[in-house]
Amino acid sequence: MWRLTALAVLLVVATACSGDDGGGGDAGPSGPTRVTGAAPPTGTTGPTEGSGGTEPAGPAPDACALISSDEIEAITGMNPGVGSTSGGEDRSICIYEGGFITSVEIAANYEASKEIIEQDRPIEPVSDVGTEAYWDTQGQLVALGDDGYFVGVTIGARNEAAREQAARIATVMLENI
């Protein structure tokens, strides 16, 4: 139980991976792996210059409510299992039993989160998802919406198929905010 609690605290799709011992990896026959890292700074409200979007309407919506397990399975071909929500006012994280992770956070935290990740590992821009999006080498995609929030999807696999699946999941999440 303590691992799940620690994982919930450490897992934010838009995170910096700093010396994690749970490390990600390519998805094996049993599905995706977990990716851990340190949470980005919080405490700001509303979007910052260059963060895109508008002022969020309130606290971050429940990440588990933005896309169902059935929708994830339809996109990935793998059943993620039941999702469990954690987080607070600025962010909501949904950790699925199968290792998938989705999150939603206020847009004001986007630039700081992106900078933290860029200091630790390479990121690649992704087009056609939100107003801005990127994919990192730990198997996670982060996409900024135009509604005051950004979403993240951690699949764990580090290949083009996983990147495309994460983009499709992020698109559904952004549409449901």
φ/ψ bin of 81: left (φ > 0), alpha (ψ from -120 to 50), beta (otherwise): left
Per residue in 118-168, pLDDT (tens digit) is 999 999 999 999 999 999 989 999 999 999 999 999 998 899 999 999 999
Amino acid code (one letter) for 134: Y
What does the pLDDT look like over 83-124, one tens digit per residue? 999 999 999 999 999 999 999 999 999 999 999 999 999 999
Handedness of CA 162, 154, 109, 116 (dihedral sign): negative
Task: Give counts: helices (H), strands (E), the chain.
Answer: 4, 7
Which residues, 6+ apart, have CB-to-CB distance to 110 below 8 Å?
Answer: 14, 47, 48, 51, 52, 142, 144, 150
**pLDDT (tens digit, 9 = 90+) per residue, 16-35?**
333 333 333 333 333 333 33
Q: Residue 29's pLDDT is what?
A: 31
Examine the pLDDT at 2 and tell me if it is beyond 60. no
